[in-house]
Amino acid sequence: MLRDFSTLGDEEVFLRLKQGQEEAVEEIYRRFWKELLDAAYRRVKSQEAAMELVQGLLVQLYLKRERIQLRTSLRNYLHTALKNKVLNSIRAELVRNTYQQRMAASGQASQPDAASALRLKELQEQIDASCAAMPEKCREVFYLSRREHLSYQHIADQLGISVNTVEKHMVKALKILRSHLKEYNFTLLWALLCFAARLLR
């Protein structure tokens, strides 16, 4: 039976999320998606990048829900976390650009060395094994997002499902990956996953 969370305050909805009530994810998504997307877009000036940041933030909120302790309102927490994600993405972009410039200046190819390529190949094999454990639709959504780099809206249109359903499949996919690849720092894993998909496809 679906619960109606529309009359609950934000912090109470988050408490329900911490208790494992999955409908709370949908309620938080409904309440905050648009304002977070607008806030991200004002900072990065790209709709696609803004969507990636907000999607990542909400997935992270779900995955870390048991460890998060709100010291302010849920709205303030989400906006602060989003600001930090934007800053981190800018730093990562600067690091990538600096690395590419140094490689170009030294005349070296921008390809990874053999050892790095081998590690990425091994990681990809572990990821593929984890993906094989996913339900079929969940795996399809994950591949379209991470391998084809489609937005959630494009995936929804292609598969004939709602964006909300795409979001649920991605949350499930990330939980499976996190469970199967416990030896990796999950943030690092996510970055490597994106890079490996580009390198090995």
Q: Quote the domain boundaries for residue 90.
A: 1-109
Based on the domain organization, do 64 and 129 belong to the same domain?
no
Based on the domain organization, do 99 and 138 belong to the same domain?
no
Residues 6+ apart with CB under 8 A from 23: 2, 3, 5, 16
Higher pLDDT, 36 or 60: 36
Based on the domain organization, do 163 and 71 belong to the same domain?
no
Q: Which residue has the tokens 């489609």?
A: 150
pLDDT score of 101 more than 50:
yes
Q: Computed from CA positions of residues 176, 178, 179, 180, in that sequence, does the dihedral angle turn out positive or negative?
A: positive
Per-residue pLDDT reduced to its tens digit, 107-124? 554 455 566 666 666 766
Q: What total of structural domains would you count in the chain?
A: 2
Listed residues 91, 109, 127: the one ending a domain: 109
Based on the domain organization, do 101 and 149 belong to the same domain?
no
Based on the domain organization, do 176 and 95 belong to the same domain?
no
> Is-contact 59 171, C-beta < 8 A?
yes
Residues across the chain: 201
Higher pLDDT, 73 or 194: 73
Q: Which residue has the tokens 């969370």?
A: 5
Residues 6+ apart with CB under 8 A from 100: 110
- CATH code of 136's domain: 1.10.10.10
> Is-contact 91 119, C-beta < 8 A?
no
Q: Taking the model in full, what pTM does it have?
A: 0.50
Give percent of the chain above pLDDT 90: 11
